[in-house]
Structure 1
Amino acid sequence: MAHTPTYTTTLPDSEFAGFILPDLVSECHYPLRLNSHCYPVSRASEQWLINGGRLAEPKITKLMGLHAGELGAVCYPDADAFHLRVIADFNNWLFIMDDWLDEFDVDGTWGMRDCCISAFRDPVNFQTETLTGKMCKSYFSRFMQTGGPGCTERFIHTMDLFFIAVAKQADDRAKGHIRDLESYITVRRDTSGCKPCFALIEYAAQIDLLDEVVSHPVIMAMEEATNDIVAWSNDIFSYNVEQSRQDGMHNMIAVLMDEQGLDLQSAVDYIGQLCKDSIQRFEDNRAILPSWGEELDRQVAIYIDGLQNWIIGSLHWSFDSTRYFGKDGHAVKRDRVVKLLSQKPL
């Protein structure tokens, strides 16, 4: 585990209630690229979710500010329009699913899991009246038109891991339980939703990696480093909104403040250092990638580029979306100053 940073951050004034973001944008030098199909695909996907989820205001405005399609466009910049649309639909669905599951108890989460996994296993013949099940059938029936067998199974398996972890989160929430750092990290790697998104790298590129490749320790270490950067930076970015609704237990900031007695800024700095260490971990493993032969090495290179796109793409998208910083994202990105929102009554 990385050390606690020894540097200190100077706050603007004594009345300041908030924190300073770590400078992750400057630390991450990967190229940021935007898919040429971004905007028409993104707008079509939003309309798909509005119709499929039967959304009304203010949820429609919230969806339009989310920019989930734009997230897909920077994380999968080389996907064609068909594949990008499936990815955009999944991203939009996953975000609304994440919001819905925040309100579910353990039994409700398991019920949602059973419906969605059944839809993934047989999106054509599985019958359901639930909105989320119908949306799963919609995008995954299109996924299966070109998704390879290994890629498809990896997507379904990692979505199952997501629901299992979210059920643990629901149990923690019901009990008011804050995890220790080690167990939190284990669960967070599945609640992040990154793992099925990594299967979508293969899907977007129309490759299907061999099991001997995806199970190699170096590939797994690079996936884990990517997941950690995305999830842990997201804990920093989402903390303000979560604390404002008094729902911040499943967040590394709360874990560190509870377990190690850190104040808010020290916890943020600690996580920032972990993220920077994870970028180095990603590069250290890239340097020792083995060779599987010319064709497999070509596919692996595409996959590693996809992981890299997720690191840089999710980082910049977090400030472009209104999900975490409202309309102030660009100012927060520039100044790195987050002012705490007032807590809403329970």
Structure 2
Amino acid sequence: MPSANETNGSNGDSVLNDSHVTNGIKKTNGVNGTNGKSETNGANGANGTKSRTLHIPDLFGGILSGEPVENPREPEIGRMSEEWTKALTKMDPKTAKILTKANFAYLISLSAPQADAEAFRMAVDWCIWAFVFDDQYDEGAMRDKTIESSHEMIYTLSLMDDSYPPVDPKKYPLRYMFQSTWRRFQQVWLAQSKTGLDVTIPDYMETRRQSIGSYCLFVVVEWAHGIKLTQDIFDHPSVATCERAAADLTWLVNDVLSYKKDMAFGVEHNIICLLKRQGCSEQEAMDRTGEIMDQCQKDWEDAVANLPSWGEETDKEVQRYLGACRDVARANLWWSFKSGRYLNAEEAVQARTARILTL
């Protein structure tokens, strides 16, 4: 039982440090509590400190000024998307309330005020998927499960492969959500391509060179061959030009050799198809592709001719790296013929010896 020196209170409440309790309200260090709340040292700010003001930048200036335009489809599609997600994932009431409060439909409404119903719904579904997917790693069941999380990442990325089978929505609701939004996005993109809403040739080339995988292989071969170069050399315009030329030759070879197969499967993302939609005949489009390849070769030669010298040993390493870039592009060419990924044996011989593609 505590002594009188330790406790001085009434109604069974204990008081420490000479504090007095009256009717269940605590008084500490001379500060009176009111309505069951305790106060300390007269503080009225956060974390027991005095409140203060802080001047912030003008957040609504420049390009952020003005009233945003809203998409009139927001209320209906926002509700449909939320209900679909909650039912699909069997979302608990607490998470469902957080999702509703987040109001991703409003975000898309202001971001894409002119989007039609189909595009608006896809965008909202994707935002909600990203929220739910991310939340499981921040505060959810996957927070401390590194191995399981890495497996889920791999499965999610694999859903972007067109050959991946349909996901069971009951077994894997989040994977199903992502696959659904990804396929709808692809359909819109293909529909735009077929109606002539095409990118420019330079924009298409930039996208292709970044997506073909050549730059990743450059790094892999650099590591595998033990090539030692500093970042300033990689950043040199001549080295960057050689990388770009090698990457471009890789995807251009792919577009030429895959053209027949692309036509058979209705695939439109091919530079020959793009040139045809811009007015070229089929042969003109193929000839123009050849001219682009010739320019890549010239860009390479000019870049090599304009290389500075960093010293004998470093120059040797630079030549080894450029050789690696060339090898990656050439490997793709030879592999494409040997693997039969686009042409059968007879077609491959005809393409290589006579430079003819029979459609």
TM-score normalised by L of structure 2 = 0.48
TM-score normalised by L of structure 1 = 0.49
> Would you tell me which structure has more helix in proportion to its own residues?
1
Query: Higher RCO, 1 or 2 (CA under 8 Å, sep at least 6)?
Result: 1
Greater Rg by CA: 2
